[in-house]
């Protein structure tokens, strides 16, 4: 079997730990039974010996399939990792969701997305990345009694993501430690209102108001201060047709959304302005993970 799990962009400005978007950049894992377990990695992490000795995907897969069948067999795992590590594009969520869904499939169980999502929450306690990896599209998420409740909106094909990927990673835990333990009433109200309005814009496909909707007062600029070039990325993006420009997850990637007829020009300008960074144009994934036997 092969499983494809998309990259994701979380928070989207004001939707801290609750809003997310799936992107057409996939990690692929092929799994076959064999007498001796083995791991092969292409792409991200292929030079890291530790990933073959202690692989998170394999560990979660084995834990899950053992819980389902009472035992785990030996498998050959072939990884094609396209999602960059520690760049705010949901690489860890891709691993978690992919491993659990693959285990359900290999164990002969029905792969129910709501169940996969709730199981993934045990490994990743915030649903903003794992939910779009499961459902695709734009997702609004809350957690209640260890279950994730999601509202999803498909995104029009004429909307593209122009992502700017710096050469420096950002550690999510360290990035979260930069945030204050308390917020003012004004900051809370601002984020609540903007997150609600942003959700409405995506659901109603009112993309022209995304720039206003994505204003954040809680986390984004505090995290961006670790890599000040990101402030210029946002300025350049907005000056050249971006509909919204936000830190992707905890960074360091910056997510810019643009209409299709502006995406190529925006990408070229951003690449010229930031030659040390990678700039990619990605389509929005509306389907979430997929399994091919």
Binding-site members are 84-94
Tell whether 140 and 247 lie within a shared domain. no
pLDDT band of residue 68 (cuts 50, 70, 90) is very high
Tell whether 185 and 279 lie within a shared domain. yes
Tell whether 121 and 175 lie within a shared domain. no
Tell whether 19 and 132 lie within a shared domain. yes
Tell whether 19 and 148 lie within a shared domain. yes
Domain count, the chain: 2
Tell whether 142 and 163 lie within a shared domain. no
Q: Give the model confidence (pLDDT) of 34-63 as tens digits.
A: 999 999 999 998 988 888 889 999 999 999
**CA–CA gap between residue 207 and residue 158 (Å, rounded):** 11
DSSP state of 47: T
Binding-site members for ATP are 84-94
Dihedrals φ, ψ of 74, to 5°? -95, 140
Tell whether 54 and 164 lie within a shared domain. no
DSSP lists the bridge partners of residue 34 as: none
Tell whether 150 and 163 lie within a shared domain. no
Q: Residue 73: its pLDDT value, please?
A: 87
Say which CATH number the domain at 208 has: 3.30.70.890
Strand extents, DSSP E, 87-239? 138-144, 147-153, 159-165
Tell whether 146 and 28 lie within a shared domain. yes
Read off the pLDDT of each residue in 2-21 and give the average, rounded to a whole number.
Answer: 97
**CA–CA gap between residue 146 and residue 183 (Å, rounded):** 26
Tell whether 31 and 112 lie within a shared domain. yes
- What domain range includes position 84? 2-154+286-292
Predicted model pTM: 0.95
Q: Give the model confidence (pLDDT) of 138-179 as tens digits.
A: 999 999 999 999 999 999 999 999 999 999 887 777 778 889
Tell whether 140 and 70 lie within a shared domain. yes
Tell whether 112 and 202 lie within a shared domain. no
Q: Residue 48: its pLDDT value, please?
A: 85
């Amino acid at each position: 079997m092969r499983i494809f799990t998309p990259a994701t962009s979380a928070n989207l400005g004001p939707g801290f730990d609750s809003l997310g978007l799936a992107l057409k950049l996939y990690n692929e894992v092929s799994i076959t039974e064999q007498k001796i377990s083995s791991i092969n990695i292409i792409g991200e992490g292929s030079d890291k010996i530790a990933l073959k000795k202690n692989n998170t995907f394999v560990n979660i897969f084995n834990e899950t399939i053992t819980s389902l069948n009472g035992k785990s067999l030996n498998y050959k795992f072939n990884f094609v990792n396209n999602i960059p590590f520690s760049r705010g594009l949901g690489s860890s969520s891709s691993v978690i969701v992919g491993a659990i869904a693959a285990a359900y499939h290999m164990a002969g169980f029905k792969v129910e997305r709501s169940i996969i999502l709730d199981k993934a929450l045990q490994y990743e306690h915030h649903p903003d990345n794992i939910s779009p990896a499961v459902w695709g599209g734009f997702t609004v998420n809350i957690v209640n009694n260890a279950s994730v409740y999601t509202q999803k909106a498909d995104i029009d094909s004429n909307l593209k993501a122009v992502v700017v990927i710096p050469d420096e990673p950002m550690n999510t835990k360290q990035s979260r430690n930069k945030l204050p333990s308390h917020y003012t009433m004004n900051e809370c109200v601002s984020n609540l209102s903007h997150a609600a309005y942003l959700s409405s814009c995506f659901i109603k496909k009112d993309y022209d108001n995304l720039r206003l909707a994505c204003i954040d007062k809680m986390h984004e600029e505090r995290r961006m201060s670790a890599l000040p070039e990101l402030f210029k990325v946002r300025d350049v993006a907005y000056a050249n047709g971006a509909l919204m420009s936000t830190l992707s997850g905890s960074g360091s990637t910056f997510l810019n959304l643009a209409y299709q007829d502006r995406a190529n020009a925006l990408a070229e300008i951003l690449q010229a302005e930031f030659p040390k960074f990678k700039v990619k144009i990605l389509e929005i994934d509306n389907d979430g993970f997929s399994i091919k036997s």
